[in-house]
A and B are shown apart, each in its own frame.
Chain A
Amino acid sequence: MDQLTMLENKSIFIIREAYAKYKDIALLWSVGKDSTTLLWLCQKAFFGKIPFPVIHIDTGYKFPQMYEFRDHYAKEYGLNLIVGRNKEAIDGGMGPGKGSKLDCCNELKTNALKQTIAKYGFKALLLGIRRDEHGIRAKERVFSPRDENFRWNYEDQPAELWDQYKSESEGEDHVRVHPILHMTELDIWKYVKRENLPISELYFSKEGKRFRSIGCEPCCGPVPSTASNVDEIIDEIANATTSERAGRAQDKEDAYTMQKLRSLGYM
């Protein structure tokens, strides 16, 4: 069995395990490459018909291309799409220009997600985070419980071995399930290539720059790159110096990532 098939099998196993245990489950789809890969893995796990909703947390500040992409594939895959917005904060004018970036993230992402979870009563969320994103991610479990404040107690995490994941427990608001935790950035791109997955055009180089991760337009900076298709991105990542790849591919990217980390409540 080749490496990509192995990774895929592992992800599909986790997705099916999550659905077997939690019927009140949803997939968090940011429209980025990782969660789009996860979306595809869910398609595969359920033979083309995902039996639960797909949530997009919309801050109102995403790139226009992302909205187009979202709506196009939501339709093509026949998704039950829930768009979650913190309407009150948006109406109140919250945005990157107002307050700190962290406040903005808190209101438009974390609180929007809290509201969505509360409204639909979700007990489990599938998220497309990866272990190599940042050192702290290395601590994550595949099934990671959160309390009502979304706190992640990384100092005292449940034991997890032999693909036996924790069951529902007392005091748990919901559980975060991470089916692609074991994939690296390079694995994702190789998988995108093999499966010929649709990926937002923002990832491909235009005028010498491309986005390595995408989110809200005002807070995303492109990196210098000439990689204008998936093959070139694979080359670019594979040939980055090994130390950059040594377990922490993305954390250097920009200060925004650190903020994202602090608001671990969201991711």
Chain B
Amino acid sequence: MEERELHLVIVGHVDHGKSTLIGRLFYDTGCLSPSKIEEIKESSAAEGNEDGKIEFAHVMDCLKEERDQGITIDIAHTFFNTDRRRYVIIDAPGHREFLKNMISGTSQAEAALMLVDAERGVEEQTLRHCHVLGLLGIRQVAVLLNKMDLTGYSEETFKTVKAKIVEVLSGLGITPSFVIPLSAMEGDNVATRSENMKWYDGPTVLEALDSFESAKVLERGMRFPVQDVYDIDGQSVAVGRVEAGILRVGEEVFILPDNTKAHIKEIKKYLEEDIKEAPAGDAIGITLDGQPLTRGQIVVDRVDSKITDTVKANIFWMVDKDYTRGVPLTFKCATQDVKCTIDKIFQRFDPASIEVVERDASVIKPSEVAEVEIKLDKKVVVDSFDKIQETGRFVLEHDGFTVAGGIIL
């Protein structure tokens, strides 16, 4: 089994079968103890399910004991295993008022399962979730057309709904890796290939999951945002995390936004000697020849970032209050932290409808997505999100709280 676990988010309109699928995944991968299965059977029987048939939607509830506490868990983290690896399921609530939580949860995912009820097709939250996946840059998406049992396992229905959702997703820049017909309730195509849908020759849900990859380090485009500078035994050490690419000792680098040149002298980690390189994700310290660094500077291997005080972006507004054009905010990207205002709102729309609500607007309403231009008090170093996600995404803050997330166009 692989050591690395994969973070997975399961999204979909309410009642399209999320809880049922999660229960089914736990059950089919043997991750429920016999006593837990008994408990779930009992509670299913109490609700009138005939002869020991399991209500899979109860599994999550039983695991969380949320009924006892009267609290609904928003970003729950639960685990199950396949032969390949461990999966951490991030549960992301679908309702509009939970958008903030849904986004917080989904932003931690490396892959997504998008459930769509095959009978009812794409609904409001399906669309909103598609938007969030697109904006967050989650590219490994499997669409699961659920409740195929209710359609008599009809290939026709599958084709129609599949065409629709693929169209919606591609409009948002997502090509689903798989579109799988299944019945979470009956177990068709979840862990085992369905006898009822011989016309389908793609992977099961588990096979699809096991084909997903965890995030990879790219060779080019090193980005090291300076987090802080410490004095260690009289030496100035800049600490931070390599956000993209690989940082190497001896390499010529550029300090942005000022664009000065320097060389990496040492990579430092406590009690480790002679480190030659540090890949994306590594939290390190570095020493350089040249000027001391400060928080917010970005060390790069080639100057191909944007160095600018205006940023064009798509943002999603996550709080309950309207934003009015011109109100001051703080722009936070990597370790950069700069005052700003949104100067232009080219268009805003409700992500659950796709239709533009208003062009050239002066406000953004709660839960809306908007294409905007942000004016910053000073120059920042950014990339387009399509090129380097880590320096192509940002949040906007008001009174210390994140009010919006955005990706740079």
Give me the interface of A with B, judged by CB distance under 8 Å: 1-3, 5-6, 8-10, 12-13, 16-17, 19-20, 43-49, 131-132, 135-136, 138-139, 141, 154, 157-162, 164, 166-170, 172, 241-248, 251
Are B402 and A46 in contact, with the CB atoms below 8 A?
no
**Interface size counted on chain B using CB atoms at 8 A:** 63
Once A135-B66, A135-B76, A136-B73 are accepted as A-B contacts, the answer to whether A161 and B402 lie under 8 Å apart by CB is: yes
**B33, chain A: closest CB distance, angstroms:** 4
Are A3 and B227 in contact, with the CB atoms below 8 A?
no
Cα distance A3–B85 when bound, in Å? 12
B189 in the interface (beta carbon within 8 A): no
Cα distance A129–B43 when bound, in Å? 32
Are B32 and A170 in contact, with the CB atoms below 8 A?
no
Cα distance A243–B30 when bound, in Å? 9
Are A16 and B228 in contact, with the CB atoms below 8 A?
yes
A-B contacts, 18 of them at CB < 8 A, read A1-B282, A3-B4, A9-B283, A16-B228, A47-B230, A49-B232, A135-B69, A135-B76, A138-B73, A138-B77, A158-B401, A159-B395, A159-B401, A159-B402, A166-B397, A168-B400, A172-B400, A247-B64
Closest to A172 in B: B400
**B91, chain A: closest CB distance, angstroms:** 8
**A239, chain B: closest CB distance, angstroms:** 13
Which chain B positions have C-beta within 8 A of A135? 63-66, 69, 71, 73, 76
Once A161-B103, A167-B397 are accepted as A-B contacts, the answer to whether A20 and B227 lie under 8 Å apart by CB is: yes
Cα distance A19–B394 when bound, in Å? 21
B104 in the interface (beta carbon within 8 A): yes
Which chain B positions have C-beta within 8 A of A246? 26, 31-32, 63, 78-80
Which chain B positions have C-beta within 8 A of A131? 77
**B298, chain A: closest CB distance, angstroms:** 15
* List of 8 A-B pairs having minimum Cβ-Cβ separation, nearest first: A169-B400, A161-B107, A247-B78, A12-B283, A242-B31, A243-B33, A167-B400, A9-B283
Contact of B63 among A10, A45, A167, A243 (CB under 8 A): A243
Once A48-B270, A170-B400, A242-B80 are accepted as A-B contacts, the answer to whether A162 and B405 lie under 8 Å apart by CB is: yes
Which chain B positions have C-beta within 8 A of A136? 69, 71, 73
Closest to B34 in A: A241
Once A47-B237, A157-B101, A161-B103 are accepted as A-B contacts, the answer to whether A1 and B279 lie under 8 Å apart by CB is: yes
**A237, chain B: closest CB distance, angstroms:** 13
Cα distance A196–B271 when bound, in Å? 13
Cα distance A139–B33 when bound, in Å? 25
Which chain A positions have C-beta within 8 A of B223? none
Are A3 and B405 in contact, with the CB atoms below 8 A?
no
**B228, chain A: closest CB distance, angstroms:** 4
Which chain B positions have C-beta within 8 A of A45? 239, 270, 283
Which chain A positions have C-beta within 8 A of B107? 161-162
Are B228 and A20 in contact, with the CB atoms below 8 A?
yes
Once A135-B69, A136-B71 are accepted as A-B contacts, the answer to whether A44 and B227 lie under 8 Å apart by CB is: no
Are B282 and A9 in contact, with the CB atoms below 8 A?
yes
Which chain B positions have C-beta within 8 A of A158? 401-402
Chain B interface, >50% SS class: mixed
Give me the interface of B with A, judged by CB distance under 8 Å: 3-5, 26, 30-33, 36, 63-66, 69, 71, 73-81, 100-101, 103-104, 107, 136, 227-228, 230, 232, 237, 239-241, 268-271, 279, 281-283, 285, 295, 318-319, 330, 332, 335, 393-395, 397, 399-403, 405
Q: How many A-B Cβ pairs are below 8 Å?
A: 150
Are A44 and B270 in contact, with the CB atoms below 8 A?
yes
Cα distance A1–B279 when bound, in Å? 8
Are A242 and B33 in contact, with the CB atoms below 8 A?
yes
Closest to B237 in A: A47
Which chain A positions have C-beta within 8 A of B241? 9, 13
**A14, chain B: closest CB distance, angstroms:** 9
Are A139 and B279 in contact, with the CB atoms below 8 A?
no
Are A243 and B66 in contact, with the CB atoms below 8 A?
no
Closest to A247 in B: B78
Closest to B405 in A: A161
Are A138 and B228 in contact, with the CB atoms below 8 A?
no
Which chain B positions have C-beta within 8 A of A243? 26, 31-33, 36, 63
Cα distance A17–B71 when bound, in Å? 31
Cα distance A157–B102 when bound, in Å? 12
Are B76 and A1 in contact, with the CB atoms below 8 A?
no
Closest to B318 in A: A159
Cα distance A73–B262 when bound, in Å? 40
Contact of B76 among A13, A138, A241, A242 (CB under 8 A): A138
**A235, chain B: closest CB distance, angstroms:** 16
Once A6-B281, A242-B33 are accepted as A-B contacts, the answer to whether A138 and B75 lie under 8 Å apart by CB is: yes
Closest to B295 in A: A20
Which chain A positions have C-beta within 8 A of B81? 242
Cα distance A247–B60 when bound, in Å? 10
Closest to A170 in B: B399
**A205, chain B: closest CB distance, angstroms:** 23
Kindly list 5 other residue pairs between chains A and B, CB separation below 8 angstroms, not including A138-B73, A138-B77, A243-B33.
A10-B283, A161-B136, A162-B395, A164-B402, A243-B63
Which chain A positions have C-beta within 8 A of B394? 164
Cα distance A1–B217 when bound, in Å? 10
Are A47 and B232 in contact, with the CB atoms below 8 A?
yes
Which chain A positions have C-beta within 8 A of B395? 159, 161-162, 164
Cα distance A244–B75 when bound, in Å? 19
Are A247 and B281 in contact, with the CB atoms below 8 A?
no
Are B330 and A167 in contact, with the CB atoms below 8 A?
yes
Cα distance A167–B395 when bound, in Å? 12
Cα distance A172–B81 when bound, in Å? 40
Which chain A positions have C-beta within 8 A of B5? 3
